[in-house]
Structure 1
């Protein structure tokens, strides 16, 4: 949308009154069943994006918004990219800040992003949900505990080494032994 003679570009977004899961979960007593409902809706939203040949590249609790106590929507498409026809991945060519603690190893090593990369990010997001987005349990905090304090590119290198050795985030205390949600629907109301 453009306004006035100076044509300032503006983006009009849906108002989601309860904010992000990252802000909401630490302040509310949310049951495991409700967490799994949110996880299912995130899966449905991501399946819908992938069916349109898009990868999100920034799936995290901070980018999942609550429309109400029962409905979440995926937001913040600033890093989203369309997968070109006939290709299996998107390669990042520009430098910039990236949510590296939500990235799969191939993303960190080769700057390649696949649909499966979003699945990895979903796993990290599910970890966030199961820890109720406790800041002391956040993926950056837990990974830094594992790799030690670093800065810049050294953080990425140490994270790659850690993941290559098979190290992962610790299992949250409320993590059920097995989670079997139904398959996502082809169209989803869970994309904002």
Structure 2
């Protein structure tokens, strides 16, 4: 099962991905984590990425796709994976399609966690308050101003992949404003319908 989770920051992708990982025993491939791992392992592509990051640049699509190409060949990804934070652009979506095709693979589904963005800011403020109350550090991303910047970047850059996958017939929309358990149940429902098609 090869999935992409899309949705704005704070929509609950990380929470749902963690549940899918536990339930289906497939890895969540977060581009940020993979980049850091490739740099730490000093793989050829990791060294390229490090050089770009050290120079203060943005890692190119080519490097990101290369890191994903290497990662999906690892043993734990043979039964599938969940992509989180990728693709962020149409160019990346095209490159992903090409890479999967080259490996004889297909995407099974793209699940968009659709949320009311005006309520997301409140959700993030609550998440920060809960972390403080529990004596946990507040994620830097949960600062309301930082969050608003991330949200506008998502709307400007990443949201364009949603119509791309809708046109390809791969997109399913799940109401991300439901409770965590209800969102999980809706995702399970989408995935069980996929199993029926196979």
Q: TM-score range by the shorter chain?
A: under 0.3
TM-score (norm 2): 0.23
| Structure whose residues are more often helix by fraction | 2
